[in-house]
């Protein structure tokens, strides 16, 4: 595979498919599981505070879309959109990407969809958190307690609580889908929230430390440059290593990592995918990510969509 490009670095990380499939997950820091279980408990045990601000126009007449403002356990507010189809078959939490800020959208897979603009981004902007992606990903990096991804994951968990409070009939068929940042968030949040039944992770970010060895154009580049000058930040980021969390996933997951990706280092993507137990994952390898899709990629997209249709349906496992 040869992809023509003008980047001043190699978006394949100089690795073949076989080499990428051999990339190991990151080393688990002490207290990793306890840290995430405690974070989840904070969300699960907090008072549920949300306000349905308005119903917005829907491109599908029989669907309703609500703009909802949510207050998390730490007092931070964020906005989510919940789309309710006429005949909902369950729920779907969608994780946004840095380049794809959440907004109102149609439902998917006949599911009630919640699409959250996580704290600090888009309609969830506030005065204390940078809204520029390259600054957002570094916010609070002085400690694992303050780091932005801790709150970002908490926002996704709280979103699910809101979804189930508004539409309790979704219980029993809760799924997750996310790409890029949303893919990395998914790997971090899925192991601890047991109500998720299946998930789709596309070109996931926040992989193992090997990602810092390679240039990119995405949020990972901001982290790579930061740890060069502040090596102590590696310890903080180790608690947000999606490849470490991914080994604790115990539900069916479809993964679509890319061999060529200028935005999210393929080595990092594959560290996440490789960490998931073989019996839970289905992997469709793309030729490119964050780049023009090839004919082969379009076929992969069809396969992934069919997988989601099958596994996100009520009654499937």
Radius of gyration in angstroms for the set of CA atoms belonging to the chain, rounded to a whole number = 18
Q: Residue range 154-158: average pLDDT?
A: 98
Q: Residue range 91-103: average pLDDT?
A: 90
Q: Residue range 141-154: average pLDDT?
A: 98
Average pLDDT, the chain: 96
**If you ran DSSP here, which 8-state letter would residue 180 be given?**
T
Residue 3 lies in a domain: no
Residue 12 lies in a domain: no
Residue 54 lies in a domain: yes
- pLDDT range class, residue 119, cuts 50, 70, 90: very high
Residue 11 lies in a domain: no
Residue 317 lies in a domain: no
Work out the angle between the directed axes of helices 148-166 and 32-44 (0-180°, nearest 10).
Answer: 40
For residue 175, pLDDT over 90 is answered with yes
Residue 276 lies in a domain: yes
- What is the share, in percent, of the chain residues with pLDDT greater than 70? 99
For residue 315, pLDDT over 70 is answered with no
- pLDDT range class, residue 87, cuts 50, 70, 90: very high
Number of domains in the chain: 1
User: Residue 33: its pLDDT value, please?
Assistant: 98
Residue 148 lies in a domain: yes
What pLDDT digit, counting tens, does each position of 238-251 carry?
A: 999 999 999 999 99
For residue 270, pLDDT over 90 is answered with yes
Residue 290 lies in a domain: yes
Token pair listed for 35: 């840290």
CATH number at residue 36: 3.40.50.1820
* Helices first, then strands: H and E counts in the chain: 10, 11
User: Residue 302: its pLDDT value, please?
Assistant: 97
Which residues sit opposite 199 in a β-bridge? 176, 253
Angle, CA 149 vertex, CA 39 and CA 288 arms, to 5°? 130
| Residue environment code for 148-165, b if the CB has 16+ CB neighbours within 10 A, otherwise e | bbbbbbbbbbbbbbbbbe
Tell me if the pTM is above 0.85: yes
Show the domain range for 295: 17-311
């Amino acid at each position: 595979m040869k992809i023509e490009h003008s980047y001043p670095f190699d978006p394949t990380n100089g690795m073949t498919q076989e080499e990428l499939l051999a990339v190991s997950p990151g080393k688990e820091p002490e207290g990793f599981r306890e840290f995430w279980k405690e974070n989840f408990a904070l969300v699960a045990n907090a008072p549920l505070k949300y306000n349905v601000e308005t119903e917005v126009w829907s491109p599908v007449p029989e669907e309703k879309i609500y703009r909802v403002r949510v207050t998390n356990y730490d007092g931070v507010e964020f906005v989510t959109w919940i789309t309710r189809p006429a005949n909902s078959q369950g729920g779907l939490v969608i994780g946004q990407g840095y380049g794809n800020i959440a907004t109102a959208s149609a439902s998917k897979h006949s599911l009630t969809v919640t699409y959250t603009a996580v704290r600090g981004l888009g309609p969830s902007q506030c005065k204390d958190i940078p809204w520029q992606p390259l600054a957002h990903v570094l916010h609070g990096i002085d400690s694992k307690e303050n780091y932005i991804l801790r709150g970002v994951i908490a926002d996704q968990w709280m979103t699910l609580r809101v979804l189930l409070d508004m539409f309790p009939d979704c219980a029993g068929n809760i799924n997750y889908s996310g790409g890029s940042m949303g893919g990395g968030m998914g790997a971090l949040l899925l192991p601890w929230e047991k109500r998720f039944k299946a998930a789709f992770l596309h070109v996931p970010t926040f992989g193992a430390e090997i990602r810092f060895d390679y240039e990119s154009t995405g949020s990972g580049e901001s982290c790579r440059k930061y740890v060069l000058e502040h090596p102590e930040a590696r310890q903080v980021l180790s608690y947000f290593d999606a490849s470490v969390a991914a080994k604790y996933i115990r539900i069916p997951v479809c993964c679509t990592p890319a061999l060529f990706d200028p935005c999210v280092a393929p080595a990092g993507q594959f560290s996440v995918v490789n960490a998931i137990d073989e019996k839970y994952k289905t992997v469709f390898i793309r030729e490119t990510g964050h780049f023009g899709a090839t004919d082969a990629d379009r076929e992969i997209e069809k396969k992934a969509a069919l997988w989601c249709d099958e596994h996100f349906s009520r009654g499937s496992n």
